[in-house]
Structure 1
């Protein structure tokens, strides 16, 4: 059947050609059987014509999704929820162990050698549950703003590991990249806590002292065994920028170690989405948009693109809360505009790419 008006398309029809959004993203692929809600999605993306194949009778059996019986649905949901709870519980337990250990390391970093083998063992235990870690919606069980720096370390370790995987770097590098995320801010152990916890704006002198955490970190890690030079350089260089505007050495492009480029992205994301004494947590989706902007000249663009694409992938059905307080769920993520998916709210589909005043404030589940 040739291209027909969306108004004439019936649920159960089969798409004979990829449906492309005005921005060039693939909305539906060839062979997709259109369900009732897909009609609203087509309208939301302002699609006027769709290529449909075959007789409608061939597809009517798929006009609507099969609804399981109440008993089956309840059993299936309970089973899945139980499995998910166990997985998340294991991840949280290892996370809490790692958090306790890294807090201890910060408290003794100035006076003692880092217990690197204990750190490695704890990190391996944490990474064993990496499949249960989702960057956008993982939340520690106990978040204390006083502990921001320790949470940032553990979360940056997990996220840096994920980025190394996503970017296709050799597997032998992944744990070292996680170490780089874990220890990137260890130099803050030498900064007066009254400065780090200060709720008011820092003076120029205090700001310069905070910036020294990069060199302090390299000094702490310089003679530590079982980590490679990339981990040490990540501590030194994670605030460098591709255009040379960063610190402490104003390095550019290829002068910055790959680990530092990865950790920079993870650090910025968690620094902006965690609650701090002097700064409120921001929406993860808005932070991703800020990171995208930083990808032009400040951060490594290929790492940024991969990070944004992967973190927003496979989130259809995710429960969310919008900035206006309404709850809903993600029903479609346009890969050409990944931070602004289609959401279903109160029975209405909203395309966040068109409603720029709205955005996802938080992931609920």
Structure 2
């Protein structure tokens, strides 16, 4: 049967060879698809493939898929990267400067440990540190910026630079008083204006310490928006560096899925909906769509709670509405695209 790529599930079997738009052979007939295969088809923008009729056993495998946890190397690398950005903040607060070898020794091992990771959703849910939001956020944005760059078919060299830019994007917050950064209530106008200066501080720190104009520009521009509503310079469209646009998407996503003193973490699927809304004006639409398209297949097999109290497992995503998938509840199938009143309220690893 012919199905859209976003409706594939792990265990589906191809019955014809799969090619991308320029004729590159991707997968052979007879391939039993895993999560990596589905992700690759998405990266190559394949729309439809031919698969053998499904058996109930395949859907049962998805239903009973074991919970995934980040491996020890990934956890260690994440914690080391978090500790690294913490030490950089402290050094800068004491009048020191950034050193490229220190940045790379903290960040590059993390990229090495996650390069082959396909299930980005579970990875983000699994990796946490005990350090404060700003530190953990910096590491997440570095990871996500690297992934987005790879999904956009950037070279490995460019992807690492973009990941490093994401890792350092908030370095200017070392010059913002902690009482403002960690304030539990709403910031005053003056306090918000002070926080906005972290973009300028970051630009100055990176440009003077690392002599890298590209990394400095990302620190300066990651809060700029396509429609000119961002800060600090209200840049818009092509006036914003392409790397800054990538880091902006990663920054917004990470901020929304994180717990902060003034915000509870939001459900990952809900956040993708918000990113989709922001792609109509604020965020670069192409980058945002690449991100959403590559994140959505990771939700297949995840257990979910629904707004009506029921719980089930995502079996397929819906190619016409990414955010209303097919759910398996006690071997009964619920198509959320046909139920306007039922929403997903929580997704587990």
With normalisation by structure 1, the TM-score equals 0.75
8 Å CA contact 1:323, 1:360 repeated in 2: yes
| TM-score for the superposition, normalised by structure 2 | 0.78
Please give the alpha-carbon distance, in whole angstroms, between the structure 2 residues aligned to 1:282 and 1:250: 28
Q: Which residue of structure 2 aligns with residue 125 of structure 1?
A: 109
Q: Aligned pair 1:107/2:86, yes or no?
A: no
User: Following superposition of structure 1 onto structure 2, how do residues 348-363 of structure 1 map, counting pairs within 5 Å?
Assistant: 348-363=332-347
**Counterpart of 2:21?**
none
Please say which structure displays the higher CA radius of gyration: 1
1:314/1:208 Cα in 2 relative to 1: closer, same or farther (>3 Å)? closer
Of the candidates 125, 131, 134, which is equivalent to residue 149 of structure 1? 134
In 1: Cα distance, 2:89 partner to 2:238 partner: 31
Conserved 8 A contact 1:165-1:174: yes
- How far off its partner does 1:271 sit? 0.3
Q: CA deviation at 1:19?
A: 6.0
User: In structure 1, which of residues 317, 337, 347 is the aligned counterpart of residue 301 of structure 2?
Assistant: 317
1:139 equivalent among 125, 128, 132? 125
Q: Which runs of 5+ in 2 are unaligned?
A: 17-51
State whether structure 2 residue 323 is matched by structure 1 residue 346.
no
- Tell me the secondary structure at the aligned position of residue 329 of structure 1: strand
SS in 2 for 1:313: helix
Separation in structure 1 between the aligned mates of residue 136 and residue 113 of structure 2, nearest angstrom: 17
SS in 1 for 2:333: strand
Provide closer, same or farther for how the CA distance between residues 283 and 323 of structure 1 changes in structure 2, counting only shifts above 3 A. Answer: farther
1:181 aligned partner = 166
Say if 2:78 and 2:127, in contact at 8 Å, map to a contact too. no
How far off is 1:67 after superposition? 11
> Corresponding residue for 1:213?
198
Cα 1:312–1:63 shift into 2, 3 Å = closer
Q: CA RMSD in A?
A: 3.1
State the distance in 1 between where 2:257 and 2:59 align.
Answer: 37
Distance in 1, Cα, partners of 2:271 & 2:326: 18
Deviation of 1:135 after TM superposition, in Å, equals: 3.3
Structure 1 position 133, deviation (Å): 6.3
Aligned length, in residue pairs = 306
Structure with more relative contact order (C-alpha pairs < 8 Å, separation 6 or more): 2
Q: Cα distance 1:210–1:251, how it changes in 2: closer, same or farther (>3 A)?
A: same
Structure 1 residue 249 corresponds to structure 2 residue 233: yes
What per-residue deviation string (whole Å, max 9, x for no partner) do you get for residues 227-278 of structure 1? 7422111100011111111111111111101111001000100101000010
Q: Assess if the C-alpha contact under 8 Å between 1:136 and 1:311 holds in 2.
A: yes
2:283 aligned with 1:299: yes
Residues 141, 257 of structure 1: CA spacing in aligned structure 2 closer, same or farther, 3 A cutoff?
A: closer
User: 1:282 aligned to 250, 256, 266, which one?
Assistant: 266
> Counterpart of 2:76?
93
Contact (CA 8 Å) 2:139, 2:167: kept in 1 or not?
yes
Q: Deviations over 1:14-52 (max 9, x none)?
A: x4xx468xxxx87899969xxxxxxxxxxxxxxxxxxxx
CA shift, 1:341, in A, is 1.4
Q: 2:206–2:212: 8 Å Cα contact kept in structure 1?
A: no
Cα deviation, 1:112-149, whole Å, max 9, x if unaligned, reads 112331220221111112223643222355454x6111
Aligned CA distance change for structure 1 residues 326 and 255 (closer, same or farther; 3 Å): same
Q: Could you tell me how far apart the structure 1 residues matched to 2:101 and 2:343 are?
A: 43
Query: In the TM superposition, what is the alpha-carbon distance from 1:200 to its structure 2 partner?
Result: 1.1
Question: Could you tell me whether the CA contact under 8 Å between 1:91 and 1:133 is conserved in 2?
Answer: no
Match 1:202 to one of 180, 184, 187 = 187
- Write the mapping of 1:26-45 to structure 2, written as runs, cut at 5 A: none
Return closer, same or farther for 1:355/1:169 CA change in 2, 3 Å cut-off.
same
State the SS of the aligned residue for 2:277. helix
Any idea what SS the aligned residue of 2:315 has? strand
